[in-house]
Structure 1
Amino acid sequence: MDILHLVDRLEELFNESSSVPLTHKVMMDEGRLLDLIDQMRLAIPEEIKKSQQIISQKERIIAQAHEEANRTIELAKEQCQKLVERDEIVQKAQVMAEDIINKAREENNQIKQEADFYAIDSLEHLEIEMTKILAQVRNGIQTLKYDKTSEKTQSGGSRNGNQQN
């Protein structure tokens, strides 16, 4: 399940919760909340899998570029060999072959650079999203801890207040 969807569900659970009168606290269904937290824990590895898929995709693109470059280089060598056999155009053949090889190398470098940029951009975006999610989860946990601490403090204070009356 998408982690952002789970964060939306957490917010929905918060919005559906009952507020405690005269406080900034809410009462939430503990079972639903814990279930949501468990689902979030399971969803985060999915986000990591996505980043691994992006890296694999980049590696496939690079491998394809290498294969294409190698095929182009081999083709250039074959063409060069054929041209060399014709003595009248030996010099032209060498120049053409070198141009083809250089172009193949440039294309290979460009494809690799584009794949690197794509992977970096995707991973940076994923990092930003995961940082936001982590901050939201931590904020939710802190809110719940604060609410629990406040409830204990208030229930302790009510007992003392009842004893005075």
Structure 2
Amino acid sequence: MMSRIEQLISEIEEYIDSCKPKAFSNSDIIVNKEEIEELLVELRLRIPDEIKKYQKIISNQDAILSDARSQADSILAEATAQTNELVNEHEIMQRAYTQADQVVEDAQMQAQAIVDQAYGDADAIRENAIRYTDDMLSSLQRIMNHTIEDAQSRFGAFMSSMQSSYDIVTSNRNELSGGVVREEEETPAPQSETAE
């Protein structure tokens, strides 16, 4: 079953894919800031809940171990009871000791197997929780990296456009400046005729 974090990551990826491309660009897209921020805010709020859920699963290993110990104690108690019954019968005393030793040994092996299995299950749960959380953070990291690269690309295109506009304005001013100089050079001639 897909978690809400995975759903949010899928929604963000689908949203990015659905965005319209920017005019005259193959890589830039037009993003609705409120929509993408809403998805990112929910993603940020969901991550702690997911981590807490898996921390709770990890903490349950103590309950698993406690249950395993209880089962082991119960098996040992039953073995002891059986041993007592066998010992009480004088004519089968020797066989009772042999059977009692075997029952205790089997009980200890079974109890150890239960404890070992509980530790194995707890380790598997912890590893899966860590791996899952790392996968979620990796997906978030990829989205953030894509957003950063996209922002840098848009900023670079904006600066290039501004530089081009600036060069055009500078060129126009230079042309206008040349026209002003020529007018000033032509103006004195009529004034000198008036003075004569």
TM-score by length of 2: 0.74
Letter aligned with residue 12 of structure 1: E
Q: Is the 8 A contact 2:58 2:122 kept in 1?
A: yes
What are the equivalent positions in structure 2 for 1:16-165 lying under 5 Å apart? 16-20=18-22, 21-165=24-168
Q: Which 10-residue stretch deviates more, 51-60 or 152-161?
A: 51-60
**Alignment check: 8 A CA contact 2:68 2:114 kept:** yes
Task: Tell me whether 121-130 or 95-104 shows the greater mean CA deviation.
Answer: 121-130
Give the whole-Å Cα distance in 2 for the aligned partners of 1:51 and 1:25: 38
- Tell me by how many angstroms 1:159 deviates: 1.8
Deviant stretches of 4+, over 6 Å = none
Shift of 1:11: 0.8
Alignment identity in percent? 23
Gap runs ≥5 in structure 1: none
Structure 2 runs not aligned, ≥5 long = 169-196
> 1:102 & 1:42 partners in 2: Cα distance?
52
Between the aligned partners of 1:94 and 1:46, the Cα distance in structure 2 is 56
> Which protein has greater RCO, CA pairs closer than 8 Å, 6+ apart?
1
Does 1:13 pair with 2:35?
A: no
Change (3 A) 1:85 1:114: same
Moved more, 120-129 or 11-20: 120-129
Q: Give the partner amino acid of 2:65.
A: I
Q: CA separation in 1, counterparts of 2:103 and 2:28?
A: 71
Higher Rg: 2
Q: What is the rounded CA distance, in whole Å, between the counterparts of 1:52 and 1:92 in structure 2?
A: 51
User: 1 CA distance for matches of 2:7 and 2:142?
Assistant: 17
Q: Please provide the CA RMSD for this pair.
A: 2.0
Paired residue secondary structure (1:22): coil
Q: Are 2:8 and 2:43, in contact at CA under 8 Å, matched by a contact in 1?
A: yes
The separation in 2 between residues aligned to 1:96 and 1:56, in whole angstroms, is 39
Query: Contact (CA 8 Å) 2:51, 2:133: kept in 1 or not?
Result: no
In structure 2, C-alpha distance between the alignment counterparts of 1:66 and 1:38, rounded to whole Å: 44
The worse-fitting range, judged by mean Cα deviation, of 72-81 and 4-13 is: 72-81
